[in-house]
């Protein structure tokens, strides 16, 4: 296996970014304003739905229910291409990524053969000591899905909250971790208790995910969203808060990359090999057997973002 540095430099619309995947440290030199042809061609972060399979049936799940899983050879090729074009990190999800047949192999490849930060999002119930031994040293951050605590969690996820906590202890031995919390009418009342729990187990981050509207599933209601914003404004707890990008424009959270948003910041590859703006997007550009950067360029043009970045380049210089 090749040896990869944990530190990486990226040039993009926000400036020059120095990133360390082991510590998670970001140092942005925004006074460095490089011309557009020097900008990284890949998004800053890319998520992969390795599989649509999941052994839970959460009522607010937006993931496609059509059976699909990515080919390992394609995934490794895309990881290499993203790495060489300035991507900083990849997140493996699903479905439930730990149900992907080659999950341990793809984590190892990303960690050893690229300089990408490796994260994955999981419900944690399949993360046991056997899996932990296979991925130890090959994961830099883990996101745990926990929508509510106690009875709320058990009602929505159909699993014991005590069992979740047992698996969380295994996760804690692997890498720093954060908690993902879907916000809707049923989970909002548990938000303060969930933050107390996050502090108790020493979570590094708490990611708020206001429920998105997708076909067959309503999004979070405006009254609930207003209450969430009020709650965020009053929050003074020790665990850092972040929020999904679609909701970030109306929530008072810190945005480090003011000029590097949209597709330059993030893109998603679904379990059929389609490159999308996000996991919620209805359409995208098929990657197929071609290059992921080629598909990304096509998506930039289709979305209309390419021209806005050209204008930005002129303003920044």
Q: Convert the pLDDT of each residue in 276-289 to its tens digit.
A: 998 888 889 999 77
Domain that holds residue 123: 41-316
Q: What is the pLDDT of residue 5?
A: 80
9-23, 98-112, 203-217: which is most confident: 98-112
What stretch of H or E contains 45?
A: strand 45-49
The pLDDT value given to residue 78 = 97
* pLDDT for 256: 56
Question: Which tokens is 226 given?
Answer: 């207003």
Within a domain: 133:
yes
Helix axes 72-84, 103-113, angle to 10 degrees: 20
Vertex 57, ends 56 and 61: CA angle to 5°?
110
Q: What is the pLDDT of residue 216?
A: 77
Burial class of residue 146 (count of CB atoms within 10 Å of its CB; 0-12, 13-18, 19+) = buried
Asked whether residue 187 is assigned to any structural domain, the reply reads yes
- How confident is the model over 254-262, as a mean pLDDT? 61
Helix residue ranges, H only, the chain = 72-84, 103-113, 129-135, 150-157, 161-172, 191-200, 222-234, 245-248, 292-303, 305-316
Question: Is 28 contained in some domain?
Answer: no
Number of domains the chain contains: 1
In this structure, is residue 116 part of a structural domain?
yes
| pLDDT the model gives residue 249 | 45
Under 8 Å CB-to-CB from 290, ≥6 apart: which residues?
Answer: none
- Top pLDDT among 307 and 95 is at 95
Tell me the C-alpha distance between 317 and 312, whole Å: 9
pLDDT band at residue 149, thresholds of 50, 70 and 90? Answer: very high
Residue 6 lies in a domain: no
| Alpha carbon separation from 235 to 79, 148, 189 (Å, rounded) | 37, 17, 14
Q: How far apart are CA 17 and CA 9, in angstroms?
A: 6
The HSE-up count of residue 95 (CA atoms within 13 Å, CB side) is 26
Q: Please report whether residue 172 resides in a domain.
A: yes
pTM for the whole structure: 0.90
Q: What is the pLDDT of residue 282?
A: 84
- Predicted confidence band of residue 251 (pLDDT cuts 50, 70, 90): very low
pLDDT, greater one: 3 or 35: 35
Cβ atoms 82, 116 nearer than 8 A: yes
- Could you give the CA distance from residue 236 to residue 217 in angstroms, rounded to a whole number? 32
CATH of the domain at 214: 3.20.20.70
What pLDDT band is residue 305 in, cutting at 50, 70 and 90? confident
Do 285 and 295 form a contact (C-beta atoms < 8 A)?
yes
pLDDT at 183 exceeding the cut of 80: yes
pLDDT at 74 over 70: yes
Per-chain mean pLDDT for the chain: 89
Find, among 87, 114, 100, the residue nearest to 50 by Cα. Answer: 100
Q: What is the DSSP letter of 22?
A: T
- On the question of pLDDT at 253 being above 60, the answer is no
Residue 1 has pLDDT above 50, yes or no: no
- Binned at pLDDT 50, 70 and 90, residue 205 comes out as very high
132 with 174: CB under 8 angstroms?
yes
Measured torsion, CA atoms of residues 59, 171, 271, 4, in degrees rounded to the nearest 10: 160
The residue assigned the tokens 């042809």 is: 37
Measured distance CA(295)–CA(241) in Å, rounded: 32
pLDDT of residue 143: 97
Q: Is residue 14 part of a domain?
A: no
Strands 141-145 and 285-286: unpaired
Query: Any residues with CB less than 8 A from the CB of 91 and at least 6 apart, and which?
Result: 45, 46, 47, 48, 119, 120, 121, 143
């Amino acid at each position: 296996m090749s040896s990869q540095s944990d530190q990486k430099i990226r040039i993009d619309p926000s400036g020059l970014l120095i990133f360390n995947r082991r510590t998670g440290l970001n140092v942005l030199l925004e006074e460095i304003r490089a011309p557009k042809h020097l900008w990284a061609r890949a998004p800053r972060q890319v998520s992969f739905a390795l599989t649509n399979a999941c052994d839970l049936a959460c009522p607010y799940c937006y993931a496609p229910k059509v059976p699909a899983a990515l080919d390992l050879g394609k995934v490794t090729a895309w990881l290499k291409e993203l790495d060489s074009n300035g991507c900083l990190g990849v997140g493996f999800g699903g479905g439930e990524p730990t149900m992907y047949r080659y999950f341990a192999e793809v984590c190892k490849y990303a960690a050893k053969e690229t300089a990408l930060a490796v994260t994955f999002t999981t419900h944690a119930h399949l993360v046991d000591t056997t899996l932990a031994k296979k991925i130890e040293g090959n994961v830099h951050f883990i996101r745990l899905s926990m929508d509510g605590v106690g009875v709320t969690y058990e009602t929505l996820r159909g699993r014991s909250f005590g069992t979740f906590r047992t698996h969380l202890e295994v996760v804690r031995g692997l890498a720093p971790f954060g908690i993902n919390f879907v916000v809707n009418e049923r989970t909002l009342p548990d938000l303060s208790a969930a933050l107390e729990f996050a502090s108790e187990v020493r979570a590094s981050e708490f990611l708020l995910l206001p429920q998105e509207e997708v076909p067959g599933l309503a999004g979070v209601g405006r009254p609930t969203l207003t209450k969430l914003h009020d709650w965020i404004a009053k929050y003074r707890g020790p665990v850092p808060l972040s929020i999904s990008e679609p909701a970030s424009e109306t929530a008072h959270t810190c945005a480090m990359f003011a000029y590097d948003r949209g597709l330059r910041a993030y893109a998603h590859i679904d379990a059929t090999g389609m490159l999308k703006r996000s996991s919620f997007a209805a359409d995208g550009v098929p990657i197929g057997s071609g290059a992921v950067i080629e598909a990304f360029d096509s998506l930039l043009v289709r979305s209309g973002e390419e021209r806005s970045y050209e204008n930005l380049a002129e303003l920044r210089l």
